Amino acid sequence: MDEQLGLRSKVADLALAGADEPCTETLVNSRSERTCTRSGPSDRSSSEKCRPLQLPPSSGNGGAAATLSPPYELDFEEVGPSGKSFGVRLYSDDQHWTEIGLDKAKGEFYIDRTKSGETSIPGFAAKTIAPLAPGRPYNVKLIVDRSSVEAFAQNGTIAMANLVYPPTAGDRIVFFPSGPETAKLHAHLWKLASIWQGATREQGAKRH
């Protein structure tokens, strides 16, 4: 089972939350900085601080705010109060995408993977839904890997994880709704270092 959901009571509200929320402290140092691994001279990797990339709102007919390959972290939030529903689509190509959004009309946060890619597994093409918590901010933190999307909404009140099997490794990030409404969103994007690169280097060192 790829989705773990549970109920958690917090102060005066009740929200759907992940039973085992993953910790990202090993990848994240602070909200304004990230530790990234980059290739240096002689193919040696070096750790350095990476500041967030300020993402412009998507414009026109589904224009992409950014294009990159996983793993990465994407944070976005509503800047001012609005009755508009909003979210993001992660396109692997023009026919396949995973949609993450806050539907204010229905009072729901969701991950929709019905068009994410390989969905022939019985019951896999699904939309996972959790109720929005009244009085909490409308923000989302996404940790996106090659075959998984982890979401933390409303300051972590909602935690949700879905497996996805996209046909390509790259993502095109498109916020919705497009047009003037999108300007009310504030977003940051971080490219994360792969844990497997470090594991490969450690194994190589042990062999010597």
Rg (CA), the chain: 18
What was the pLDDT predicted at 64?
83
Domains in the chain, please, with CATH? 6-22+55-191 (2.60.120.560)
H, E, C per residue of 102-133: EECCCCEEEEECCCCCCCCCCCCCCEEEEECC
What was the pLDDT predicted at 194?
74
Could you tell me the pTM of the whole model? 0.71
pLDDT tens digits along 79-124: 877 888 899 999 999 999 999 999 999 999 999 999 999 988 898 9
CB-based contact 168:67 (threshold 8 Å): no
What was the pLDDT predicted at 205?
53
CB-based contact 169:37 (threshold 8 Å): no
pLDDT tens digits along 11-66: 333 333 333 333 333 333 334 445 444 333 333 333 444 556 556 554 444 578 88
pLDDT tens digits along 139-148: 999 999 999 9
Q: Is 166's pLDDT higher than 90?
A: yes
Average pLDDT over residues 123-152: 95
What was the pLDDT predicted at 169?
87
What was the pLDDT predicted at 63?
74
What was the pLDDT predicted at 35?
45
What was the pLDDT predicted at 199?
55
